[in-house]
Amino acid sequence: MEAIRTRSMTTQYTPYQPELAQGRLESLLNYQTMVCDMTGLDIANASLLDEATAAAEAMALCYRSGKRRKMTFCVDENCHPQTIAVVKTRAQSLGVKVVVGMHTKFDFSGGGVCGVLVQYPDTNGHVEDLSYLTERAHQSNVMVACATDLLALTYLKPPGEMGCDIALGNSQRFGVPLGYGGPHAAFFAVKTQLKRELPGRIVGVTKDALGSRAYRLALQPREQHIKRERATSNICTAQALLANMSAMYAIYHGKEGLWKIADRVHRATQLLAKGVRDSGHLLESESFFDTLKGKCRAGSLKNILRKAEEKKVNIRMYSSDHVGVSLDETVTDSDLEDLLYCFGSNTALDDLAVDNIAVDVLTENELIRTSPYLTHPVFNSYQSETELVRYMKRLENKDVSLVHSMIPLGSCTMKLNSSVEMEPVTWPAFGNLHPFAPANQAQGYVELIRELTDDLCEITGYDAISFQPNSGAQGEYAGLCVIRAYLNNIGQGHRNVCLVPDSAHGTNPASAHMAGMAIKIAMTDKKTGCIDVDSFKRLVDDCHENLAATMITYPSTSGVFEESVRDICDIVHNAGGQVYIDGANMNAQVGLCRPGDYGGDVSHINLHKTFCIPHGGGGPGMGPIGVKTHLSPYLPSHPVISDLGNVSRGQSAGPVSASPFGSASILPISWAYIKLMGSQGLRRASQIAVLNANYMACRLKPYYNILYTGTNGFVAHEFIIDTRPLKNQPTRVEATDIAKRLQDYGFHAPTVSFPITGTLMIEPTESESRDELDRFCDALINIRKEIDEIEIGLADVQNNVLKNAPHPQSIVVRSDWPYPYSREKAAFPLPWIVPTNKIWPAVGRLDDTYGDVNFFCVCPPVESYLEEN
C-alpha cells in the first residue's frame, strides 16, 4: 500500500516522455518479467484492466491473428461466469460466435474455430493438465488462451509449459486489496510470434543518445492515436500503479516467500477438504489448489448456511445443493475451525493436520511446478522492508510527477489529488470487501455509489449512470454498445455507421470499431478547429439510413468551444442517430454546461481527470457512462450481481467488466472531491481552468502561433501551439525537440503531435498557481530564444541545446564535455533553475529505432549490467 500513499507514484502520467519516467518503466518491466516467469510465456504487457476484459482481448487476438477470419471462439463452461459474460459482449460486437461447453468435447476439425479459453485452476477449483487440449487445438490451428492465477503458478505447472499460446488473469493476489472489485492489474502474456498483436502497453529496453540502457514504451506504432480504428485495442489507461504494487510484492517476497505463501494456502485447503469429506459431503474434485466445490450431504445445506451466517462467513452458492469455498494466505486456524464447524466436522484441526499426510493428487498427476521462476537479481535482492523502501525511493527519484512541477498535458487534465480525498482508499473497510458480497454487507458502498450517481447525473444532465467501465476508453466502448443494443431493440439494428471527427481522440475510432461499427470520418475546418458543419451535413445525408451515432468532444480537441455543437447534435438526431459526447474535456464544463442538455445521449466521465482520481503513471482510471432515460435499460448488466438500477438483463448491452461497479475502491476519491467542492466550488474550478489556459495563451502568443481560438479570440481550457513552421525553417526544430528541451527546465512536455502532428497541446488545469504558470511560460519563451539563436547562426543546426536535449546529470558532470555550448546553458538555462531545486532527467534522449529493432521486454540479464559497467 506504500505506493498508494506516495504522491510521487500516484500523480505520474503514462510514460510518453520516458526520460522522465525511468523509475516506473523499470518497475513495469519488473512486472512484465514476473508475468513471463510465472506463466512460462515469452512476452507480457504492462497490465490490462481486469481478468474478464483480458479474456475478451484474448478472444479478439485469436480472431484477428489468423490468415483468414475464423468466426467461432470456444469457452470452457468452467471459466468464471463474469469472464464468460464479458467475452460474449465483446464477441457479439465482432460478429464472433461464442460456444460455451466442456473443453474436452469441443470439435476443432471444421476449421472455423479461432481459439479456445480455459481456466486453470477452473472456477470450481479443479486443476488438470492442459497439454492434451493444446495439442489437439494446435493440430487444427486453434489458439489456446488460459485464464490463470499467479499465486497458483508458484505451485502448479505454468500454462506455457503445457503449450498455451496466451495466459491471462488478475494479479490482485500479489499485494492488492479486493476493493469491492478493483482496481486490479490484469496480466497478459503471449508467445513471441504474437508480440505485435499484444494489446495494451509494452515496456521495452533500449539505449539513450549516450549509449546507456534505458526503458520506454515499445512498439508504439500500434497506438490508437496513430492507427486509430486499426489499433490492436482501444486501451489507453490500464492499471500501471496496481501493476507496480504487484511487482513490488513479488520483489519483496521473492520465489521462496511466494512459494511458502502458496504452500500454506494449499495445505490449509487440504485440511479443509479432509474435514468436509469426513463430514459426509462429496467433493467434485480431488485435484485442487485453493478452492473446493462440493455437494452437500442430503438435508445439510440449510444448516451449513445458518452456521456460515453465524460465523460471518460467505460461502459461494453454485446450485441448490452445491457450495464452494476459496482460501488465501489471510486465513487463520480460527477461520479454518469456523469453516469446519459450518460443514459439521467434529474433528479438531490439529487431529486433521496429523492425519492429512496422504500424497497430494497434484503430485500424482505431475502438476507440481518444477521449472525455475523469479531468478533475476531484482527478485532476490530486496527481501527486507528497509531494502525494498530504498529501492522504491531510487525508482521514485527517476520520475517526474505533480510533486515536482505542473504536467500540462492537453486533454489529460493532470490536476491536484488532495490528501483528504486519497485517504479512504487506504482504509480496510473499503479495501477488504469482495465485489460479490451481499448488498447488506456493503451498505457503505451502496450509499456512496447512490450519492455519486445522483451528483454525476446533476452535473452532466444525464438520467442514469453505470460505474462498470474502469477506464475512459472502456466507457467509450460501453456507451457505443448501449447505443447498438438500443437500436437493435427498436428494430434499427441495421444502423452501424459511426461518424468520428478527424481530430478525435484515437480511442474514439478504436472503440467504435470494437463495438462493431463502421467508421466514417467527419472533417474539421482547418481554420477554426471545429467540425465543418456543411461537410458534416453531407456526410449524414450520405449515410442517414445506416447512421447509428456520432462521437464528438466538447470543448473540441482543438481547444475551443464548438459553437455549432447543438446544431451537430440536431443533425444526427434528425437522421435517427444517437450522440456520444466524449467526456475527456469535462473539466471545462462542470457547473457551466451539461452534455445532457445540449444534445448528448451518452457520455463517459473520466473520474481520473475531472474528478481527481490520480493517473498513477498509466492507471487506474474510471470511465462511468451517463445516459438519457431511453438508453438506461441497455446499460451494462452483470451475471452475478443483478440489482443494477434500471438495467434490464434482457435488453442490456451486456457486461463490460468483471466487477459490477468497476474499480469501486477509488470511487471515494471522486465522491469526496464533489462533496468538498460543492456546486459553487466545482463551477469555480471550471472557470479557473479556462482562465489559466487563456492567461498562458496570451503570454505565449508573441512567441508561438496559437493555432485555434474561438470567434471571441479566446481558447477553452487547453490550447495548441503550432511548431510546424519551425521544422521547415533553417532551424529544423520539431515539436519533439521542444518537448525534450522542456525536461532540462524541469517540466514534463505538453501533449506532442495531438490532435495535429507537429504541435503541442497545453492544459494547465485549475490546480496550478500563477507562479507555476509563469515558470512554464518562461521556459517556453526562453526555448523560443534558443531557437532564434539557431536561426541567426549563433548555434549549430544539429549540435545545439534542443537537438541534444535532454541533458541528464551523467553527461553534465563528465570531464569531457562534448558540446559547443556551456554546461550551465544546458542544465541551468534560467535563474530559478539552480542545483538545489534542479529536476534531472534520468537518461538522455532515447533511441526509439534501436528499441524496436532490438525488441526486449523483460529485465536484462545480469551479464548485460556487467558489460555496461
What pLDDT band is residue 134 in, cutting at 50, 70 and 90?
very high
Q: Any idea which residue has 471444421 for its cell?
A: 110
pLDDT reported for residue 847? 87
Distance CA 718, CA 609 (A): 14
Pick from 470, 837, 511, 809: nearest CA to 667? 470
DSSP code string of 289-326: SSEEEEEPPTT-HHHHHHHHHHTT---EE-SSSEEEEE
- Say if CB 491 and CB 685 are below 8 A apart: no
pLDDT reported for residue 221? 45
Pick from 131, 178, 234, 802: nearest CA to 469? 234
- Say if CB 172 and CB 180 are below 8 A apart: no
What's the one-letter identity of residue 492? Q
Q: What would the 3-class secondary structure string for 743-759 be?
A: HHCCCCCCEECCCCCCE
Q: Residue 96 carries which DSSP code?
A: P
* Residue 189: count of CB within 10 angstroms of its CB: 29
Percentage of the chain modeled with pLDDT above 70: 96
Which one has a higher pLDDT value, 312 or 646? Answer: 312
Give the length of the chain.
869
User: What is the per-residue pLDDT across 351-399, written as a single tens digit (0 to 9) for each?
Assistant: 887 666 555 788 888 899 999 999 999 999 999 999 999 999 999 999 9
Percentage of the chain modeled with pLDDT above 90: 85
pLDDT reported for residue 417? 85
707: left (phi over 0), alpha (psi -120 to 50) or beta: alpha
pLDDT reported for residue 227? 56
Which residues have CB under 8 Å from 562's CB, separation 6+? 530, 531, 552, 554, 555, 556, 568
Q: Where are the beta strands (DSSP E) in 572-640?
A: 578-582, 602-604, 625-627
What pLDDT band is residue 486 in, cutting at 50, 70 and 90?
very high
Kindly tell me if the per-residue pLDDT of 861 is higher than 80: no
pLDDT reported for residue 622? 94
Distance CA 579, CA 589 (A): 17
Distance CA 325, CA 664 (A): 24
Kindly tell me if the per-residue pLDDT of 866 is higher than 70: no
Kindly tell me if the per-residue pLDDT of 316 is higher than 60: yes
Strand 759-762 to strand 751-752: parallel, antiparallel, or no bridges (unpaired)? antiparallel
Sheet containing strand 751-752, strands side by side = 705-706, 719-722, 759-762, 751-752
- 311: exposed, middle or buried (C-beta count within 10 Å: 0-12, 13-18, 19+)? middle
DSSP code string of 6-52: -HHHHS---SSSGGGBHHHHHHHHHHHHHHHHHHT-SEE-S-BS-HH
What pLDDT band is residue 852 in, cutting at 50, 70 and 90?
confident
Kindly tell me if the per-residue pLDDT of 869 is higher than 60: no
Distance CA 30, CA 320 (A): 45
Kindly tell me if the per-residue pLDDT of 541 is higher than 70: yes
Residue 191, C-alpha cell as written in the block = 508467445
Kindly tell me if the per-residue pLDDT of 38 is higher than 70: yes
User: What is the per-residue pLDDT across 239-274, written as a single tens digit (0 to 9) for each?
Assistant: 999 999 999 999 999 999 999 999 999 999 999 999
User: What is the per-residue pLDDT across 771-811, written as a single tens digit (0 to 9) for each?
Assistant: 999 999 999 999 999 999 999 999 999 999 999 999 999 99
Average pLDDT over residues 330-349: 94
What global pTM score does this model have? 0.96
User: What is the per-residue pLDDT across 672-705, written as a single tens digit (0 to 9) for each?
Assistant: 999 999 999 999 999 999 999 999 999 999 999 9
pLDDT reported for residue 864? 58
